[in-house]
Amino acid sequence: MIRAATENDVPEIRAMIRELAAYERAVEQARATGEQLREALFGPHPAAYALVAEDETTGGLVGYALWFPRFSTWTGTRGMQLEDLYVRPDARGGGHGRALLAALAALCLRSGFERFEWWVLAWNEPAIGFYRSLGAEFLDEWRICRLTGEPLKELAAAS
């Protein structure tokens, strides 16, 4: 079953974020606290939204999808940026990932969003294959740029 996350889900979402970070070989970078997630998802001005996948037999959470709105100056419309999609290893192959993405796609259409986008690590062949099976287009001509730490501070100091 796919449903909107609730505040009670925050500890389990946080645990799955850490599991995802470990899988992506970057657990030390997953520093978000439960309170930060609670504020980001359920505060007065949410920065992001989440869906969760529940195991129909046990009722336990087996996956989540966390997204936020974005805007395209080219289309003049909003879109959806998927930040995280994660299904626990023992639940993979059960259709939870597809169900989470289908629920997000339906939300896109209901909301009038024209784009649904996300990133995938170049080495994550299982995910790439899964996304290809859904008909996802890979935009190889685009590169992700990021400023953080000292370079971010140095550029900010130039203002």
pLDDT of 4-39, one tens digit each? 999 999 999 999 999 999 999 999 999 999 999 999
Residues 74, 64 contacting (CB under 8 angstroms): no
pLDDT single digits (tens) 90-112? 999 999 999 999 999 999 999 99
* pTM to 2 decimal places: 0.91
pLDDT single digits (tens) 124-136? 999 999 999 999 9
Residues 64, 13 contacting (CB under 8 angstroms): yes
**Out of 49, 64, 86, 131, which one is annotated catalytic?**
131
Taking the C-alpha atoms of residue 159 and residue 143, their distance in angstroms, rounded to an integer, is 25
Three-state SS sequence of the chain: CEEECCHHHHHHHHHHHHHHHHHCCCHHHCCCCHHHHHHHHHCCCCCCEEEEEECCCCCCEEEEEEEEEEEECCCCEEEEEEEEEEECHHHCCCCHHHHHHHHHHHHHHHHCCCCEEECCCCCCHHHHHHHHHCCCCCCCCCCCCCCCHHHHHHHHHCC
Question: What's the angle, vertex CA 16, arms to CA 146 and CA 11, rounded to 5?
Answer: 110
Total residues belonging to the chain: 159
pLDDT value at position 108?
95
pLDDT single digits (tens) 53-68? 999 889 999 999 999 9
- Sign for the CA dihedral angle at 9, 14, 18, 21 comes to positive
pLDDT value at position 14?
98
**What's the average model confidence in pLDDT over 79-100?**
96
pLDDT value at position 143?
87
Reply yes or no on whether 131 is catalytic. yes
119 to each of 104, 124, 143, 149, how far by Cα in Å? 15, 11, 11, 22
